[in-house]
Amino acid sequence: MNENSKIGIIGGGSWGTAIVKMLGENVDALNWWMRNEDAIKHIQKFGHNPNYISDAELKKNKLNISSDINEIVENSDYLVLAVPSAFLKSTLDSLKIPIKDKIIISAIKGIVPENNTIVGEFIHNQYNVPYVNIGVITGPCHAEEVALERLSYLTIACSDVEKAEFFANAISGRYIKATVSDDIYGTEYAAVLKNVIALASGICHGLGYGDNFQAVLVSNAIREIKRFVDKVHPIERDIKESAYLGDLLVTAYSQFSRNRTFGEMIGRGYSVNAAQMKLKMVAEGYYAVKCINEINEKQKIEMPITEAVYNILYDKKSPKNQMRLLADRLN
């Protein structure tokens, strides 16, 4: 790819908006798909997304925004996927333009529930995109802090490091630092699992557990993530790098973490439906923990935190009892 490569973003939510803001600092033009026609008109007029991180200033003169996904795909070489994993399949079902020759970058931190696969596998299996043309954006980074232009770090993972470097350069700027990795499986699975851990962190906070316990929970969590990613994709990796440990820390502790917020509401006694309605955004960890649990029925990896969250959300077991039992298994 070269500097004339065209980039398209699929998704008008928080991460889609944040990526548009980051890329808008460096590239001359961007293609952007979102469903909401009213939001499109508002952005074209005012340069702000009225529905998500509305403080983010967008370079409206650089944006070609459309509700026609085929128009955006046809006019883009790189496609950044930024829709919730639960809605990815339905979003792409309307595609008439083949994407097998596009470079696909996933900013989705979840598993596609219809296929029970991470996004990279889904894109490869369903659309014949070779793995060398598939990449992943991982943190540690919250969209809300991008809007505030606070210094943030991203990792772009792709087995073709040259493609990762192209995108890392395109998204880097005065408040964004981006590095590259070739561990597409490990970074993507770790990004999925950190949302599950954030649910556990929030549940514990809602139940009244303190910082001491949270520290033990998260130190056990990074070991749980390592056991999982080493089993499903055994390569040499340093789990202490920011793409793994850093992403876990920010999601487990940050006030901007919707998964932690969702978990806290569960810990305070909200039902799943009530918490979803109050949050008004998708907590990827809710869907991810079911998929991870199904994967682990075959893998048989020791995952006590994930098991506890699954038991609470899907088996309707008592958060108080599950966390008490979990506490006895941590060290």
Query: Residue 1 pLDDT more than 60?
Result: no
For 89, 180, 199, 327, the CA distances from 189, given in Å and listed in that order, are 19, 16, 16, 24
* Lookup result for tokens 């649910």: 199
Q: Report domain extents, the chain.
A: 7-182, 192-327
Stretch (H or E) spanning 164? helix 161-171
Output helix, strand, coil percentages for the chain, rounded to the nearest 5: 55, 15, 35
CATH superfamily assigned to domain 192-327? N-(1-d-carboxylethyl)-l-norvaline Dehydrogenase; domain 2 (1.10.1040.10)
For the domain 7-182, what is the CATH code?
3.40.50.720
To the query of whether residue 240 is one of the catalytic residues in this protein, the response is no
Q: How far is CA 254 from the centre of its chain?
A: 15
7 close to 27: Cβ distance less than 8 angstroms: yes
Average pLDDT over residues 139-147: 89
The per-residue pLDDT for range 98-138, each reduced to its tens digit, is 999 999 999 998 889 888 899 999 999 999 999 999 999 99
Identify residue 239 by its one-letter amino acid code: I
pLDDT at 8 over 80: yes
| Residue tagged 């980074």 (tokens) | 141
What torsion do the CA atoms of 122, 124, 126, 127 make, to the nearest 10 degrees?
A: 130
**What is the CB-side half-sphere exposure of residue 182 using CA atoms within 13 A?**
7
3-state secondary structure at position 33: strand
Q: Which of 163, 194, 226, 290 is catalytic?
A: 194
User: What pLDDT is stored for residue 149 in this prediction?
Assistant: 94
Tell the residue number behind the tokens 């009225």, with chain if given.
Answer: 50
Give dist(CA 32, CA 16) in Å, integer. 9
What is the C-alpha separation between 205 and 219, in angstroms, rounded?
16
Confidence of residue 49 (pLDDT cuts 50, 70, 90): very high
